Amino acid sequence: MSALGQLLLTGVPGTRLDPETAATFRRIQPGGYILFGRNIESPAQLRALIDELRALSTVEPVVTIDQEGGRVSRLRLIGHEPPNANQLRDARNPELITRHGRITGDLLRMFGFNFDLCPVLDISFDDEADNSLRGRCYGNSVGEVVRNATLFNDALRGAGILSCGKHFPGYSRAPLDAHHELPVIANSREDLEAHELSVFRHFAKQVDGMMVGHGLYPGLGEGALCSSLSSRIIRDLLRKDIGFEGMVVTDDLDMGAILNHHGLEETIRLAITAGNDMAMICHRVACVEEAFGHLQRVPAADLDRALESVARFKARMTPPDPWDEAEFHRRDLEVRQLRADTLGAEAADQRSPEDGKRSPVELY
């Protein structure tokens, strides 16, 4: 049953693996790892950590991160901060967005990442909305998001990093932040089809993965279960109706939108039976072994489907570049130049207000 670990995407406790965590990961063989600011101390340390995670794995793991731009840029802890999606949008220069995608891919390959949890495909109806998406959206309309996110997505994938559209089925009209509580997105099906779902339909064949956000969508026929745990949202809408064939991953199951309403056993069962392929546990790393045990009680047909999807995804992953710290610094200088070209020379070394310090709640 150890293969079932392939359905878990887990966080990592710190900048180095302690013996107990290493033994747990070796035993349950998680399918992937997601890294945050708490895991990043220096360029060489980050590469060493990822090399160790890969060495523990009998099947090449997904190694992922949220490297978007602006405040959601984990690598700014050890390098320059890329411009965010709103800033690139406002620069009105497609070449800058293409450069951003390529540079991001080149940096991630240097460390051993193979999957980036972006682009954000949400539409910014209000650039100042307090729902965690401030600065992270590529446009204020369907056409603008499609145009700009396509440039980033194509360049990222062209650089050898698999991409993930988020946050399906559209999160930017959530009235509150799912990191803390479950939001209700009350818009009608017709409204969602004209806006949020129009973007996701466009990208269904262009992204390698899709992250399902946490929200209630009564207009989509689901007023009882969170979207990330709903077969109506994932199996019926995303898979059957929209036709997405890539890997489906939950948003973090440690967010308040989930923790406040479901226990771990119910969460894992619902996540996989709803149609997700990987269940993401970012912060409660000590619970990953318990989650592995709960997977063994999920119906075999659901497990087999998810395992096949993860295997197809992994067949497309690119191995890391050889480690070269001087080359990392060269690529990081490209980030600095991109920031200067987007925001002006005076902004080249500036950071967003959340200035790279490790935060107890990191956005994703």
Residue 288 half-sphere exposure, CB side, CA atoms within 13 Å? 35
Range of the domain at 218: 2-343
Contact assessment for residue 74 and residue 15, using Cβ atoms and an 8 Å cutoff: no
Contact assessment for residue 98 and residue 152, using Cβ atoms and an 8 Å cutoff: yes
C-alpha dist (Å) from residue 270 to 31, 158, 261, 303: 19, 35, 13, 12
pLDDT score of 137: 96
Number of domains in the chain: 1
Instruction: Give a yes or no: residue 277 inside a domain.
Output: yes
Summarize pLDDT for 214-261 with one digit per residue, the tens.
999 999 999 889 999 999 999 999 999 999 999 999 999 988 878 888
Tokens of 358: 């490790």
The stretch 355-359 carries a mean pLDDT of: 41
Instruction: Give a yes or no: residue 354 inside a domain.
Output: no
Cα diameter, the chain? 57
Instruction: Give a yes or no: residue 348 inside a domain.
Output: no
- Residue 359 scores a pLDDT above 70: no
Instruction: Give a yes or no: residue 172 inside a domain.
Output: yes
- Residue 361 scores a pLDDT above 50: no
Instruction: Give a yes or no: residue 180 inside a domain.
Output: yes
Summarize pLDDT for 267-317 with one digit per residue, the tens.
999 999 999 999 999 988 889 999 999 999 999 999 999 999 999 999 999
Contact assessment for residue 273 and residue 299, using Cβ atoms and an 8 Å cutoff: yes
Report the SS3 class of residue 8.
Answer: strand
Q: What CATH number has the domain bearing residue 132?
A: 3.20.20.300
Helix 19-28 and helix 43-56, axial crossing angle in degrees, nearest 10: 40
Q: How far is CA 9 from the centre of its chain?
A: 11
Neighbours of 55 (CB within 10 A): 9
Task: Look over the chain and give the mean of its residue pLDDT values, rounded to a whole number.
Answer: 94
